[in-house]
């Protein structure tokens, strides 16, 4: 008993000493964050950001002496955390990755620092080089710039050139959705072990809803008319959704209701599907070193029906929190990460196909990039430059956005609607039933804007 | 008659043994079922990313230490979050013990009036879902300038674990026989001596078990940590989520990180194992 109590005493003493030591460490770590020559960055965990994190200390910090403290989180978590930190203006983070969906909404709420004064003072940054649709999509209603793009993307159709050739099919330079549906049927019938097309069916406003909304746009439909009347049961919306659901049910991948970007990328890489309509970012992975389909893929603009183009526009961009007390350092970081120089750094250190592209015209004029991205750089460039976030369909819209509606309620609404449509893809209900429920939800959102 | 009894006895014995074997097998099966995901996690952590993502999973893929190299030497250092987690868990556990031991003493060995009501009052503080308190706590912390401060987590974890610790310690201290304490008193021992020489040795395993539970709860806590910390006070579970990405493979990396972050808890569990077995079976003097 005596030895046991002595042991307990020793254990407690060790724990106490350990605890004190640890707080001392934590205290030391904490103080380094507040001395001005640092900037706190909150960002989404995408490969491009991880690369940035790797390159920061040896390049940015080396040159400027500014320490960068990164917090990296998965997409949904980072959105929660950013809106929480920015809404309370607690100023924990100076810079955060926001998309072109959030930027105008945050700007309206007064959460973002305008960037025009920095842009005016920083001639090295070469703002004219930023692609016009990118620049506009990161501008607030007041016409001021609130974020700078890190990389951008649109959507296009990827297809297997070799399979098409074998079957004697010819992909037009600008396909229509009806042609794509025919191709899908032919491949599905003729080639065993290969489906016609892969389309996202996974619920989520950033998953299924993104490609579906571009189809709705080009079929002449819209989520809301100019007066915020929900249009989900209008003939065009129904026709587009039925087309999408039937196409993926008849000639699409197995387990369609559960597949998103990652699953479709996998299907395309493994040779399980002949076509894939999705983000232009997919091309980088398909053409990467070691990909079994490298060199076999053709790229054409997003298929259309009533409109001339229908690709979406998306960007991860750097926004600066209004409450930040570190604005100069924050701008130093943003202007470095979004610069042409950073793209060159990535190109030289880890290959030009890894460059955070899709935001600067100069990237597409760079011979090294053209060589590495030969198959798709031109189509990507045109898709991004031709995107019209203010006018993506056939009718005027009450809010900007191609694959989304630029209102804060859309994340919730889109996700709810996507669940209904995903259930229709799974065969649990008809498209009409799905859209009737979706319409009711959309009407409630619309009413909030009609008063 | 005698023939019947002699034949009946071995068959009953056999049935008994069969039942025992069956229960043993069942225990093994359940044990393996629970252990399998952990084993799979450890195995996956030694795979390359592309091998970890194959469907159906492959058992024979080559092993590599890449994920661990990436975890300890990659983009972000895992040490600050690990140190934060250790600080929060150890200090909050110590605080809990300091506060819960006297409370439990006053509810078992020298019970206060209406000690049952007091005990249930402690428990009632656990009835409010944590998430309901999250927003007020966030706002209070913001106003006090305590966001992203490890001391905030220490205070919260202490408050969170205190009721459980009081309940556990109360039941352990109640196991200390009154007669032993009386005997010590008759021998002239005063309170500090009784506490230290009589109660501590009997309730020791219980205290160890309680500490370990508090440590594990604090170590694994995610909700508060995710919302209330940021750059400097980030804890290990929040750091763990940073490996999830929507645009690439992360399974092997995630498994390596999960395993590395579970190690301190495993170590604490092994260190306290012999005490735990006594403590958790509530058998201090039985």
Between chains, do B91 and A30 touch, taking CB under 8 Å as contact? no
At residue A72, the 3 state secondary structure works out as strand
Buried b / exposed e across A293-320, counting CB within 10 Å, b at 16+? beebbbbbbbbbbbbebbbbbbbbbbbb
Q: Do A71 and B234 touch (CB under 8 A)?
A: yes
Whether the pLDDT of residue B1 is over 50: the answer is no
State the nearest Cα–Cα gap between B119 and chain A, in angstroms. Answer: 27
- pLDDT at A17 exceeding the cut of 60: no
Q: Find out whether A353 and A288 touch, Cβ atoms under 8 Å.
A: yes
- For residue B276, the model assigns a pLDDT of 72
- The mean predicted confidence, pLDDT, of chain B is 86
- By the 10 Å C-beta count (0-12 exposed, 13-18 middle, 19+ buried), B66 is classed as middle
- pLDDT value, residue B215: 93
Extended beta strands in A87-176, E state? 95-99, 147-153, 155-160
Give the chain A residue nearest B54 (alpha carbons).
A266
**Taking an 8 Å Cβ-Cβ cutoff, which residues of chain A contact chain B?**
1, 4-5, 8, 15-16, 18-19, 22-23, 25-26, 29-30, 33, 40, 42, 45-47, 50, 53-54, 69-75, 77, 81, 84-85, 88, 90, 92-93, 261-262, 281
Q: Cα(A314)–Cα(B247) distance, rounded to whole angstroms?
A: 14
pLDDT value at residue B190: 87
CA distance A450 to B9: 86
CB contact under 8 A, B231 and A72: no
For residue A357, give both structure tokens. 């592209």
Taking residues A289-302, report their average pLDDT.
90
pLDDT of A6:
52
Strand order in the sheet with A38-44: A67-73, A38-44, A95-99, A314-320, A147-153
- Alpha-carbon gap: B201 to the closest alpha carbon of chain A (Å): 6
Q: What is the pLDDT of residue A29?
A: 37
Task: Please provide the average confidence, as pLDDT, over all residues in chain A.
Answer: 89
- Given strand A155-160, what is the order of strands in its sheet? A195-198, A273-279, A155-160, A297-301
- Cβ atoms of A105 and A138 closer than 8 Å: no
The structure tokens listed for A354 are 């890894």
B146-156: average pLDDT: 94
- Tell me whether the CATH fold assigned to A36-145+314-372 matches the one assigned to A155-312+388-450: yes
Give the span between the Cα atoms of A43 and A138, in whole angstroms.
17
With contacts defined as CB-CB under 8 Å, which chain B residues touch A88? Answer: 138-139, 142
The per-residue pLDDT for A397 is: 93
> pLDDT above 70 covers what percent of chain B?
91
pLDDT tens digits, residue range B29-57?
999 999 999 999 999 999 887 777 766 67
Alpha helices by DSSP H, chain B = 2-45, 49-52, 66-73, 79-108, 115-124, 130-144, 150-173, 178-186, 191-193, 200-220, 223-228, 236-241, 251-271, 273-280
Selected residues 69-108 of chain B with any CB under 8 Å from a CB in chain A:
74-76, 80, 83-84, 86-87, 90-91, 94
Size of interface A-B (CB pairs under 8 A): 108
Whole-Å CA distances, A345 to A6, A31, A268, A339, B178: 60, 32, 30, 10, 75
Mean pLDDT computed over A340-353: 91
Of the partner residues A33, A75, A88, the one whose CB lies closest to the CB of residue B231: A33
End-to-end CA distance of chain B: 42
CA angle (A314 as vertex; A367, A102 as ends), nearest 5: 140
Averaged over B125-146, what is the pLDDT? Answer: 90
The mean per-residue pLDDT over the stretch B149-177 comes to: 93
pLDDT band at A426 (very low <50, low <70, confident <90, very high): very high
Tens digits of residue pLDDT in A201-213: 999 898 999 999 9
pLDDT of residue A98: 95
pLDDT computed for residue A444 by the predictor: 95
User: Are A374 and A299 a contacting pair, CB within 8 Å?
Assistant: no
**In A, which residues are within 8 Å of B224 by CB distance?**
none
Q: A81: which 2 tokens?
A: 């955390």
Mutation target for A interface from B54, B138, B245, B250: give the one with most A CBs within 10 A. B245
Separation of alpha carbons A347 and B139, rounded Å: 44
Distance from C-alpha of A181 to C-alpha of A189, rounded to nearest angstrom: 12
Task: Give pLDDT, residue A157.
Answer: 97
What number is the average pLDDT over the span A421-449? 95
pLDDT of residue A20: 44
The whole-number pLDDT of residue B176 equals 85
Mutate one of B52, B242, B272 to test the A interface: name it (highest A CB count within 10 A). Answer: B242
Segment A77-104 mean pLDDT: 91
Task: State how far the alpha carbon of A266 is from the alpha carbons of A115, A299, A328, A331, B140, in Å.
Answer: 39, 17, 42, 38, 46
Collapsed DSSP state (helix, strand, coil) of residue A152 = strand
Closest Cα of chain A to B138: distance in Å? Answer: 10
pLDDT digits (tens, 9 = 90+) for B224-278: 999 999 888 999 999 998 888 777 678 888 999 999 999 988 888 888 777 777 6
Distance CA A37, CA B225 (A): 26
Burial class of residue B270 (count of CB atoms within 10 Å of its CB; 0-12, 13-18, 19+): exposed
For residue A339, give how far its alpha carbon lies from the nearest alpha carbon of chain B (Å): 21
Averaged pLDDT for residues A165-175: 95
Of the candidates B221, B217, B235, the residue with the CA atom closest to the CA atom of residue B165: B217
Using a CB-CB cut-off of 8 Å, the residues of chain A touching B204 are: 4-5, 8
Q: Does B227 touch chain A (CB under 8 A)?
A: yes
Q: Would you call B29 an interface residue with chain A, using a CB distance cutoff of 8 Å?
A: no
Predicted confidence band at B281 (pLDDT cuts at 50, 70, 90)? low
Q: Strand, coil or helix: what is B274?
A: helix
Question: Scanning every residue of chain A, which has its alpha carbon at the shortest distance from the alpha carbon of B223?
Answer: A77
Q: Which helix (H) or strand (E) holds A216?
A: helix A209-218
Contact between B157 and B151 (Cβ < 8 Å)? no
Q: How far is B171 from chain A (nearest CA, A)?
A: 20
CA distance A349 to chain B (A): 15
pTM of the predicted structure, to 2 decimals: 0.81
Mutate to test the interface with A, among B87, B96, B151 (most CBs of A within 10 A): B87
Average pLDDT value for residue range A389-408: 92
Q: What three-state secondary structure class fits B221?
A: coil
Residues forming beta bridges with residue A178, ordered by sequence position: none
Residue range A347-378, pLDDT digits in tens: 999 888 889 999 999 999 999 999 988 889 99
Confirm if A157 and A180 have CB atoms less than 8 A apart.
yes
Torsion sign, CA atoms A216, A219, A220, A221: negative
pLDDT digits (tens, 9 = 90+) for B71-120: 887 777 899 999 999 999 999 999 999 999 999 999 998 888 888 999 99
Domain regions of chain A by residue span: 36-145+314-372, 155-312+388-450
- 3-class DSSP state of A315: strand
pLDDT of residue A156: 95
The residue in chain A having the minimum alpha-carbon distance to the alpha carbon of residue B244 is: A74
Distance of CA A447 to the CA centre of its chain: 29
- Domain A155-312+388-450 sits in CATH at 3.40.190.10
Residue B192: predicted pLDDT? 87
pLDDT tens-digit series, residues A35-66: 458 999 999 988 889 889 999 999 999 999 99
Q: Check pLDDT > 90 for residue A5.
A: no
Determine contact, residues A76/A86, Cβ cutoff 8 Å: no
Please tell me the predicted confidence (pLDDT) of residue B259.
93
**Bond into B187 cis (ω within 30):** no
Output A222 or B267, whichever has higher pLDDT.
A222
Residue from B18, B15, B74, B12 nearest B49 by CA: B74
Domain A36-145+314-372 in CATH 3.40.190.10? The answer is yes
């Amino acid at each position: 008993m005596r030895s046991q109590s002595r042991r307990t005493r020793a254990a407690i003493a060790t724990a106490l000493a350990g605890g004190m030591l640890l707080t001392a460490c934590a205290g030391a770590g904490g103080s380094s964050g507040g001395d001005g020559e640092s900037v706190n960055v909150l960002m989404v965990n995408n490969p491009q950001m991880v690369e940035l994190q790797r390159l920061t200390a040896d390049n940015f910090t080396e040159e400027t002496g500014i320490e960068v403290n990164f917090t990296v989180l998965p997409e949904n978590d980072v959105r929660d955390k950013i809106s929480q930190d920015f809404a309370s203006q607690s100023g924990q983070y100076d810079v955060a990755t926001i998309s072109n969906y959030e930027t105008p909404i945050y700007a309206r709420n007064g959460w973002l620092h305008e960037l025009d004064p920095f842009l005016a003072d920083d001639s090295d940054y070469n703002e004219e080089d930023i692609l016009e649709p990118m620049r506009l999509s990161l501008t607030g209603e007041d016409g001021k710039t609130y974020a700078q793009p890190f990389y951008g993307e649109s959507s296009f159709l990827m297809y297997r050139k070799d399979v098409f050739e074998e079957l004697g099919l010819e992909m037009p330079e600008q396909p229509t959705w009806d042609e794509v549906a025919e191709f899908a049927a032919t491949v599905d019938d003729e080639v065993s072990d290969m489906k016609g097309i892969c389309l996202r069916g996974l619920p989520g406003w950033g998953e299924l809803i993104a490609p579906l909304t571009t189809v709705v746009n080009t079929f002449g439909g819209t989520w809301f008319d100019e007066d915020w009347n929900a249009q989900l049961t209008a003939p065009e919306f129904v026709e587009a959704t039925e087309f999408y659901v039937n196409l993926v049910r008849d000639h699409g991948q197995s387990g369609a209701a559960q597949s998103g970007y990652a699953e479709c990328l996998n299907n395309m890489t493994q040779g399980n599907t002949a076509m894939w309509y999705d983000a232009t970012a997919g091309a980088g992975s398909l053409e990467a070193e070691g990909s079994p389909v490298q060199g076999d893929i053709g790229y054409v603009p997003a298929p259309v029906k009533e409109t001339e183009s229908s690709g979406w526009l998306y960007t991860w961009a750097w926004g600066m929190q209004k409450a930040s007390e570190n604005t100069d350092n924050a701008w130093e970081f943003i202007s470095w990460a979004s610069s042409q120089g950073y793209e060159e750094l990535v190109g030289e250190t880890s290959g030009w196909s890894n460059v955070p592209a899709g935001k600067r015209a100069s990237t597409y004029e760079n011979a090294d990039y053209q060589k590495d991205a030969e198959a798709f750089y031109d189509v990507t460039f045109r898709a991004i430059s031709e995107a019209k976030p203010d006018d993506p369909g056939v009718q005027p819209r009450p809010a900007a956005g191609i694959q989304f509606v630029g209102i804060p309620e859309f994340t919730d609404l889109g996700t709810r609607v996507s669940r209904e449509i995903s259930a229709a893809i799974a065969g649990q209900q008809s498209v009409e039933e799905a859209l009737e429920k979706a319409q009711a939800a959309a009407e409630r959102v619309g009413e909030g804007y009609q008063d | 008659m005698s023939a019947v009894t002699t034949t009946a006895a071995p068959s009953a014995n056999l049935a008994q043994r069969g039942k025992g074997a069956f229960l043993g097998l069942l225990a093994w099966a359940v044990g393996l079922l629970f252990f399998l995901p952990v084993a799979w996690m450890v195995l996956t952590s030694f795979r390359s990313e592309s091998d970890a993502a194959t469907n159906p999973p492959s058992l024979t893929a080559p092993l590599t230490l890449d994920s661990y190299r990436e975890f300890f030497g990659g983009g972000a250092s895992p040490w600050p979050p690990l140190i934060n987690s250790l600080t929060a868990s150890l200090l909050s556990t110590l605080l809990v013990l300091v506060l819960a031991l006297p409370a439990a003493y006053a509810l078992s060995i020298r019970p206060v009036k209406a000690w049952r009501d007091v005990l249930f009052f402690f428990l009632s503080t656990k009835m409010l879902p944590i998430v309901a308190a999250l927003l007020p706590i966030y706002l209070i912390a913001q106003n006090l300038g305590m966001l992203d401060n490890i001391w905030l987590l220490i205070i919260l974890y202490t408050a969170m674990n205190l009721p459980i610790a009081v309940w556990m310690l109360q039941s352990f201290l109640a196991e200390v026989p009154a007669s032993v304490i009386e005997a010590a008193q008759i021998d002239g021992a005063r309170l500090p001596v009784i506490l230290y020489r009589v109660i501590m040795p009997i309730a020791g395993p219980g205290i160890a078990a309680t500490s370990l539970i508090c440590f594990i709860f604090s170590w694994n806590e995610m909700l508060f940590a995710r919302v209330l910390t940021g750059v400097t006070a980030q804890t290990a579970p929040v750091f763990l989520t940073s490996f999830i990405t929507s645009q690439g493979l992360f399974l092997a990396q995630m498994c390596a990180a999960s395993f590395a972050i579970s190690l301190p808890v495993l170590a604490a569990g092994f260190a306290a194992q012999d005490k735990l077995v006594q403590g958790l079976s509530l058998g201090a003097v039985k």
